[in-house]
Amino acid sequence: MELSHRGPEYREVHEQALERVRSLLDVPRSHEVLFLQGGATGMFGLLPLNLLSTTTSADYVNTGIWSTKAYEAARQVGPVRVAGTGEVNGQFIRVPTAAELSIDPQAAYVHLTSNNTAVGTQFHEVPACGEVPLVVDMSSDIMSKPLDISRFGIIYAGAQKNLGPSGVVIVIVKHDILERCSQKLPDIFRLAAHARANSLLHTPPTFAVYLTRNVLDWLKDQGGVSAMEMRNRKKARRLYETIDASGGFYYSAVEKTSRSVMNIVFRLSSTKLEPVFIERAAQAGLIGLKGHRAVGGIRASIYNVISVEGVERLAQFMNEFMRIYG
């Protein structure tokens, strides 16, 4: 950790990490890969700072907590519109279809959140946005499946859910968008300046990049993102089938076609039993199952690193819990 970020040892790690992102996601030459700090939340601010002006507006699709935060940050910088919502009677239980979006063809970009961790919804198809660049927060599902990167203007993701430790945010950005970035910002806030400096404008989060590089090596050994997709689908199917077969003891409020493969959010028909479920699960070694504080209930976050066996143990626990308390 004391090694200089300009020294050969770190340079090798840095280049390998960038190269692994490129090769695992098949990033075309039209796009640049960046490692930045400030998390996904930092990007909520950097996006409008770089791409909005008083004369251009941006479209935001609102599908829950994170997209609301992204929208609120942009609103402080420039004009924004809501181009679609996943809200039904005050609850974010679905994602809108492409046909339900109303996109301003003049918008600087369309922003959406591909996977919504708190409510457990996910876009399973990338909506077509015409000529308007699509900007997607993939913090909670990056590297969980293959992507056609050429369809995106910007993809960004905090590493800490599917990729590595907190402290680094991965940005995949199309060159022509970099050219449009505001010139009025200090370099540290300009995406184009980071691209020109190969993400070494200043000291990068070296330890986070190093661990991310190691996780990307692991991912490659596992068979890459296609193998991850199969594994993730299998894991999610096992839990949703357990919920659907419980006769209402467990239920999911999320519309079936919008169900997340990463965050399985569900409730017990008896809410009194939810804390009991969480406590008994912890006693069985199954931890981190409490739902997001804004939503409640139960949430199984089954990111890439969670094994099929781990999910199987949870499914068996759920059936056993139902047998005792149902």
Ligand X SMILES: *Cc1c(COP(=O)(O)O)cnc(C)c1O
What is the length of the chain?
Answer: 326
Burial 271-304 (b: 16+ CB within 10 A, else e): eebbeebbebbeeeebeebbbbeebebbbbbbbb
- Write out the binding residues for ligand X, residues 161-200 only, by CB under 6 A: 161
- Write out the binding residues for ligand X, residues 31-60 only, by CB under 6 A: 39-41
Site for ligand X contains 258 (CB under 6 A): no
User: Which sequence positions are flagged as catalytic?
Assistant: 66, 137, 161
Report the residue from 158, 164, 205, 291 that binds ligand X according to the rule CB under 6 A: 158
Q: How many residues bind ligand X (CB under 6 A)?
A: 11
In the complex, what is the shortest distance from the CB of residue 183 to ligand X, in angstroms, rounded to a whole number? 26
Closest CA to 159 of 173, 134, 138: 138
Phi and psi at residue 23, in whole multiples of 5°?
-75, -40
In the complex, what is the shortest distance from the CB of residue 2 to ligand X, in angstroms, rounded to a whole number? 26
Cβ proximity to ligand X: between 300 and 322 the closer is: 300
Site for ligand X contains 139 (CB under 6 A): yes
Reported as half-sphere exposure (CB side, CA atoms, 13 A), residue 255 has a value of 16
Q: Assign 165 to helix, strand or coil.
A: coil
In the complex, what is the shortest distance from the CB of residue 232 to ligand X, in angstroms, rounded to a whole number? 15
In the complex, what is the shortest distance from the CB of residue 184 to ligand X, in angstroms, rounded to a whole number? 24
Site track 77-116 with ligand X (rule: CB under 6 A), x = hit: ------------------------------------x---
Report yes or no: 205 and 37 within 8 Å, Cβ to Cβ: yes
Gyration radius from the chain CA atoms: 20
Site for ligand X contains 140 (CB under 6 A): yes
Residue nearest to ligand X (CB): 39
Strand arrangement, sheet containing 298-301: 250-251, 263-268, 298-301
Residues that bind ligand X (CB under 6 A): 39-41, 66, 113, 117, 137, 139-140, 158, 161
